[in-house]
Amino acid sequence: MFRIISTIFILVLNLYASDKNINVQLRWKHQFQFAGYYMALEKGFYKEAGFNVSLLEGGEDINVVQQVLSKKADFGVSNSSLIIDYLNGLDVVMLGAIFQHSPNILLTKKEYKSPIDLVTGGKIALMGGDQDVELKAMFLQEGINLSKINFVPKEKHLEDLLENKVIAINAYSSNEPFLLSKKGVEFNILEPRTYGLDFYGDTLFSSRTLCEEDHEKVSAFRQATFKGWEYALTNIDETVDVILSNYNTQNKSKEHLLYEAQVLKKLINPDFIQIGHSNPGRWNHIVENYRRFGLVSLTKPLDDFFYVETKEVNLTWFYFYFFISGLIIFVIGAIAYYIHRINKKLSKSEKRHKILFQNSASAGIVWKKGFILTDWNEQATRLFGWSANEVLGKNFMDFLIPAFDKSNVINNLNSITNNHSLYIFTNSNLLKDNNLITCEWHNTLLHKCEDTGDFEVVSLAIDITQRKQEEEALKQQANYDSLTNLPNRHFFKNILEKTYALHKRNNSIFGLAFIDLDGFKGINDTYGHHAGDVLLKELSMRFQSVLRQEDTVARLGGDEFAVIFNMKTIDDDYINIIDRILDNSSKPVLYSNDTMLQVSASIGVSFYYSKNKIEINELINQADKAMYEAKRLGKNRFCIYDLR
């Protein structure tokens, strides 16, 4: 029996331990590209979450997606091609985009400065599979037929370029340019973003099965990883030393790792974009590019591709606060009810007055017809400032209730005498020093004479000013951008859904505009992020000033904004609104005594109206596509998606 119990105990322990052991499959060999995972391990973030994490080094022969789906790894690091696996029916979920922009570039000999120059120049070495689609897409964007390009598999990679066996190779902006610069070799970089192809870089993913079976585990690992990335990008020198000591399988120099860190930090952009953030509109744009290559043919919603965090904000303290408040309200309600019961048995006796009313923990008043005060306890004096001698016999509407709230309070109090019931409501109250507070009032009708209409009401007050302020602060934090005070992405989504539902019900029209600032990155790189903040705040105020009261502008993140504008007909002068936004975007912003900051904007516009009746996701997708088209056509302009 003891042996059986011991065996079961060991099996339970092993099962528990296996649940805490996590394997993460990296997509390449150790380098700063995976710094966040190293530091989450090194600084104990994974351990704090209860995990024992092993980082599996990648390589040319390792298929990261298959490692995860075969359960050899719990999580993996892929790139934008993960969306192809999803559309092909594989059980993958994107947990967050680490790199907001792909580091994948085409590295060429110095004489080749554009895709057109490479058409008849020689061989171009790329990786196999789907990994370099964004590089091939550059040629399509320039109107070049891919059959005219001599693509070959990469062999010795950088050596082939140095030995003139190829004229261009796929590369990482954080790696090969450093190596060539150290060798004194001149080169050119062709970057997909320059040609309107803005793909995500490294993305953290897992299986849909794991997310459904153990959402808490996935959530905890995801948050610990993002915390590791935040630490790594804030403490680059320390992170590089950790890589040199524990993960430097490629024998990179410290100088090389520092170079890699600075390049990747710009691509991640942690100062303005939250680690792991991704835009569904951009993913749809990426899918369209893959579809151009015939890599995906299936069409299905991307909703299941994105991980949904069910607990974005820890509100434990908030719930605890409201539990305590609820308990207090219950106690006060019980006291008020008790007063009501004993009042049936006792008239206006001194016993009831002394025991219950005067010793109540709440500010209490008793009043009769005409809002005339007949009693006032010590807590009311402490809260409001007036003594009983100053207020008894007076109409408390004259000094206790501010003018703007009188009508509301009178209606509420009249309902008490009409319904003969306990009534709870909240209103503003004046103090003796003319300050305002917010109170929650619990009112009970003590007795009413049907013949004369005389009555008395006991009203107990709780000061909830701080609670209301905390509620407003929490609401502000959850719904508004902290820098510009505009609605944030989450709140904007709610506004858009309500606008969409209203116009769909009324068979009316509204417009959606996506705004992306041109040249904003250069402002940050040249003058620093403080300058970028100044610019964003000023442009936010300008956007609000040119829009109408019925329009809405929001900051989605980074230098991305969105506008909802309502229209009566399809022929309304919406172009005037867009032109004013463009004009205000391009006007210089004063930063310091002799420094002016200037950017422009690319705007994409889509419309919902009676003839198209598109779904909300398609409306968003159209505006996003139109914005990228404005970028492609030269920026500082707007494009409209299929107005008619």
DSSP 19-32: HHEEEEE-SSSSSG
Q: Could you read off the pLDDT of 291-308 as tens digits, one per residue?
A: 877 767 767 888 889 998
Same domain, 452 and 498: no
Task: Tell me, yes or no, whether 313 lies in a domain.
Answer: no
9: pLDDT strictly greater than 50: no
- Domain final position from 432, 448, 469: 469
Regarding whether 400 and 456 lie in a shared domain, the answer is yes
User: Given pLDDT bands bounded at 50, 70 and 90, which one contains residue 241?
Assistant: very high
CATH of residue 26: 3.40.190.10
pLDDT of residue 359: 67
pLDDT of residue 313: 47
Is pTM, for the whole model, over 0.95?
no
Q: Kindly state the tokens that stand for 257.
A: 């790792």
In this structure, the answer to whether residues 435 and 488 fall within a common structural domain is no
Model confidence at 269, pLDDT cuts 50, 70, 90, reads confident
**What is the C-alpha separation between 78 and 321, in angstroms, rounded?**
43
Given a cut of 50, whether residue 478 has pLDDT beyond it is yes
Return the minimum-mean-pLDDT range out of 159-163, 353-357, 602-606. Answer: 353-357
Amino acid at 634: G
**Least confident span in 12-16, 268-272, 325-329, 631-635:** 12-16
pLDDT at 356: 59
| 164, 195, 226 - which closes a domain | 195
What is the pLDDT confidence band of residue 317, given thresholds at 50, 70 and 90? low
Cβ–Cβ under 8 Å, residues 456 and 374: yes
For the segment 376-394, what is each residue's pLDDT rounded down to a tens digit?
A: 998 999 999 999 999 999 9
- When divided into structural domains, the chain yields a total of 4
The token pair at 405 is 């709230």
Q: Is the pLDDT of residue 175 over 70?
A: yes
277 backbone dihedrals φ, ψ, rounded to 5°: -65, 140
The model's confidence at residue 449, banded by pLDDT at 50, 70 and 90, is: low
Q: Which amino acid is at 497?
A: E
Looking at residue 367, which CATH number applies to its domain?
A: 3.30.450.20
What percentage of residues in the chain have a pLDDT greater than 70?
87
Instruction: Count other Cβ atoms within 10 Å, centred on residue 45.
Output: 24
Residues 370 and 460 in one domain: yes
Q: Scan for tokens 């709140």, then name that residue.
A: 491
Residue 525 lies in a domain: yes
Q: Do residues 83 and 163 both lie within one domain? A: no
In a domain, 420, yes or no: yes
Identify the pLDDT of residue 178.
92
Q: Which helix (H) or strand (E) holds 141?
A: helix 133-141
Q: Does the residue 630 lie in any domain?
A: yes
Q: Has residue 474 been placed in a domain?
A: no
Same domain assignment for residues 226 and 163:
no
Q: 35-42 and 236-246 are packed helices; what angle lies between their axes, rounded to 10 degrees? A: 90
Half-sphere exposure of 141 (CA within 13 A, CB side): 24
Residue 380's domain comprises: 318-469
- Asked whether residue 310 is domain-assigned, the answer is no
Give residue 446's pLDDT.
Answer: 75
Residue bearing tokens 């539990």 = 323
CA 20 to chain centre: 29
Q: Say yes or no: 77 and 220 in one domain.
A: yes
Mind spelling out the 3-state secondary structure of 498-526?
HHHHHHHHHCCEEEEEEEEEECHHHHHHH
Domain boundary among 436, 469, 502: 469
31 with 139, same domain?
no
Q: Tell me the mean pLDDT in the region 309-336.
A: 66
| 322 and 420, same domain (yes or no) | yes
What is the rounded distance in angstroms from the CA atom of residue 39 to the CA atom of residue 46?
Answer: 9
Are 126 and 149 members of one domain? yes
Are residues 359 and 459 part of one domain? yes
611 located within any domain: yes
Summarize pLDDT for 67-125 with one digit per residue, the tens: 999 999 999 999 888 998 899 889 999 999 999 889 999 999 888 888 888 887 789 99
Whether residue 355 has pLDDT greater than 60 = no
Average pLDDT, the chain: 85
Residue 515's CATH number: 3.30.70.270
Give the pLDDT band (50/70/90) at residue 474. confident
pLDDT above 60: residue 350: no
Half-sphere exposure of 256 (CA within 13 A, CB side): 19
pLDDT digits (tens, 9 = 90+) for 396-443: 999 999 999 999 998 888 887 776 555 788 999 999 999 999 999 988
pLDDT for 195-235, tens place per residue?
777 888 999 999 999 999 999 999 999 999 999 999 999 99
Per-residue burial over 429-445, b = 16 or more CB atoms within 10 Å of its CB, e = otherwise:
bbeeeeeebbbbbbbbb
| 3 state SS of 301 | coil
| Model confidence at 312: pLDDT above 70 | no
**Does residue 338 register a pLDDT over 60?**
yes
332 in the same domain as 284: no
Q: Is 475 part of a structural domain of the chain?
A: no
What pLDDT, in 10s, does the model give residues 13-66? 444 444 689 999 999 899 999 999 999 999 999 999 999 999 999 987 899 999
What pLDDT sits at residue 572?
67
